[in-house]
A = this chain, B = another copy of it.
Amino acid sequence: MENLICVTQWEKDTFLPNGRFEKAQSLVGPAVCVDPTSLNGGENWTDLLEKSNPEVIIAAWKTPTIPENYKEIAPRLKYVCYLPGSIRNLIPRAAIEQGLQVTSWSSSISRTISECALLMVLACMRRVRYWTEEMHFNRGWKPYEFDTLSLFERRVGVHGLGLISQGFVNLIKPFGNEVSAFSPSVPDSIFEDLGVKRSPSLESLFSDNDVIVELAALTPKTKGIVTEDLLRSMPKDAAFVNLGRGAVVDEDALAQVARERPDIQVALDVFSVEPLPLDSPFRGMKNVFLLPHLGGPTIDRRRDAADHGLENVRRFLAGEELVEPYNLNMYDRAT
């Protein structure tokens, strides 16, 4: 009976540097440390679970899926500390139903996504996508007449006022913008603390702001909620930045509107299909700034996720309450 640490070398190096791996080992006691790439495509996973029968597993992207019947295979298993974010591939819903405790990086890394939102907004303002092509591939320089914008004096609208948006609002404080948000489930007190105005509707969020940051959670209700009409209603020179979930947006309409309106700047870190298809219309568009879903955490801040995870391991073993454990509702909202 030994606990399990199942991470690749790169995951170990990036999540658990500077003594964190040793700390993890000493926390979970006698532990099997296994590189999941050695598990023969997951074939040996069930054997390993059965033999080690762990109470705690520290897991990452390459850890094979926990079987639905994990209670038969590893009856002592109570807690999976997943170092990254989205647990859907690792944990079947049935395991949560059976009481398996699971945590992920949750809010511990949200500040780096807020930072990426700021980058994407500023990149839209200066047409970074366009100038990168001009300077590097067209041997260009600015002509006498050109177009750049500043974030100063722009109206900023945020769709979804969760922790990432709240962090973003704090990062742009020195710019002194008027900020609105559409986020029906978030209470007035949070709006007031942040100095953010409540937008009466998604329609007004899009038509009355110069910069729109899309950070709504993906739910059956929000799927495709950013429609062609909303996108078309954006004012001249508006910027639309999505680093929430791609499927919240009608992406075909977004590509169409961006094509018809070169004044609009778009910045996307997330897509309904990832990796972004090779023939995506966004590829090559001069007013669409693209990143391959690297909003956060940045590699150097994965250690923050591990610190959060290891604190949860400590709490679990001390019989204390976990920080941000998954429940079924959260599981269903996760992507």
Q: Are A283 and B139 in contact (CB-based, < 8 A)? A: yes
Cross-chain contact A292 with B115 (CB below 8 angstroms): no
Contacts of A119 in B (CB 8 A): 119, 122-123, 125-126, 128
Residue of B123, B142, B147, B292 near A142 (CB, 8 A) is B292
Contacts of A292 in B (CB 8 A): 131, 134-135, 140-142
Q: Are B142 and A294 in contact (CB under 8 A)?
A: yes
Q: What are the interface flags for A139-157 relative to B under an 8 Å C-beta threshold, 1 for contact and 0 otherwise?
A: 1111011111111110000
Contact flag A122-B122 (CB < 8 Å), given A115-B151, A292-B140:
yes
Q: How far is the CB of A17 from chain B (nearest CB, A)?
A: 13
The CA-CA distance from A174 to B114 in the complex, in Å, is: 11
Question: Interface size on A (CB < 8 Å)?
Answer: 60
A61, closest chain B residue (CB): B144
Does A190 sit at the interface, judged by CB under 8 A? no
With A175-B171, A292-B142 already in contact, the answer to whether A148 and B299 are too (CB < 8 A) is yes
**A150 contacts B283, C-beta separation under 8 Å:** no
The reply on A173 being an interface residue by CB < 8 A is yes
Question: Which of B10, B149, B151, B174 makes the CB contact (< 8 A) with A174?
Answer: B174
Contact with B along A285-299 (1 / 0, CB 8 A): 100011111101111
Closest to A140 in B: B292
Does A275 reach chain B (CB closer than 8 Å)? yes
Please encode chain A, from 188 to 205, with 1 for each CB lying within 8 Å of some chain B CB and 0 for all others.
000000000000000000
The answer to the question of A232 belonging to the interface, with a C-beta cut-off of 8 Å to chain B, is no
27 contacts between A and B (CB under 8 A): A112-B152, A115-B122, A118-B118, A118-B122, A119-B123, A119-B125, A123-B128, A126-B291, A128-B291, A132-B133, A132-B289, A134-B292, A135-B290, A135-B292, A136-B285, A137-B137, A137-B284, A140-B292, A141-B274, A141-B275, A141-B276, A147-B299, A148-B299, A148-B300, A153-B300, A171-B175, A174-B174
A-B pairs, 8 with minimum CB distance: A141-B275, A135-B290, A119-B122, A142-B292, A150-B298, A148-B298, A132-B132, A139-B278
